[in-house]
Chains A and B, each alone.
Chain A
């Protein structure tokens, strides 16, 4: 089974801090994604990547950046965390748009 691992389950950060959310997958998938999930809004795509060093903006990229230096690792960066970025963050990976696998999620609270 594909495993997608997110480094933290729960995270509390202060407003203005730089925050790194890490995601690692172990099945050599080309595609990796970062979503955030908020009550009543479902999952919304922040950024995705189809290859190493390649990234594309999703639906809500403002306030976020990403890094993909290695195929198995996709990092989400909050340059200056704000309270409206308090959310559940989910990483996913897939091959050829099929068989998405999600990580367990990181619940980030910005105070």
Chain B
């Protein structure tokens, strides 16, 4: 069964500090991996998307890495800000025929940035 596991489940850091969120998956055949940020009560917003051949991608202070061999990804947040407080969701897409790849969602890491 395809699975996406994220760790830690929750994290509290001080403003200005860096942090790294982890995502391990067993989805096959792999198409791409995305990280989303979801503010409380809102829909997820895409941060990065990586295909099999990409091992790092940045979006401002967010940097995602992908190791397709070990099926692991990480999201590194640099110089955290209060507005980074949100749930971060790892989503892995499975290649399928007939259009519209099947997505498997992690349950997210809840990040809180404090003063």
A residues with CB within 8 A of B: 4, 6, 9, 30-31, 40-45, 48, 50, 88, 90, 92, 94, 96-105, 107
Contact B106 A97 (CB under 8 A): no
- How many residues on the B side are at the interface (Cβ–Cβ under 8 A)? 25
Provide the bound-state CA to CA distance between A101 and B96, in Å. Answer: 19
Q: Which residues of A contact B62 (CB under 8 A)?
A: none
Partner of B107, one of A40, A45, A98, A101: A40
Q: Which residues of B contact A101 (CB under 8 A)?
A: 46
User: 1/0 per position for B4-15, CB-CB distance to A under 8 A?
Assistant: 000000000000
If A42-B106, A100-B34 touch, whether A105 touches B42 (CB-CB below 8 Å) is: yes
Q: Which residues of A contact B82 (CB under 8 A)?
A: none
Q: Interface of chain A, helix or strand or loop or mixed?
A: strand
> Restricting to B61-115, which residues have a CB under 8 Å from any CB of A?
89, 91, 93, 96, 98-103, 105-108
If A103-B43, A105-B42, A107-B41 touch, whether A97 touches B107 (CB-CB below 8 Å) is: no
Q: Which residues of A contact B101 (CB under 8 A)?
A: 97-98
14 A–B contacts from the bound complex (CB under 8 Å): A31-B99, A42-B89, A42-B107, A44-B105, A50-B98, A88-B41, A96-B99, A96-B100, A97-B101, A99-B46, A100-B103, A101-B46, A104-B42, A105-B41
List 10 additional contacts besides A42-B108, A102-B43, A105-B42; criterion CB under 8 Å: A6-B43, A42-B105, A42-B107, A48-B100, A50-B100, A98-B49, A98-B101, A100-B46, A102-B36, A104-B43
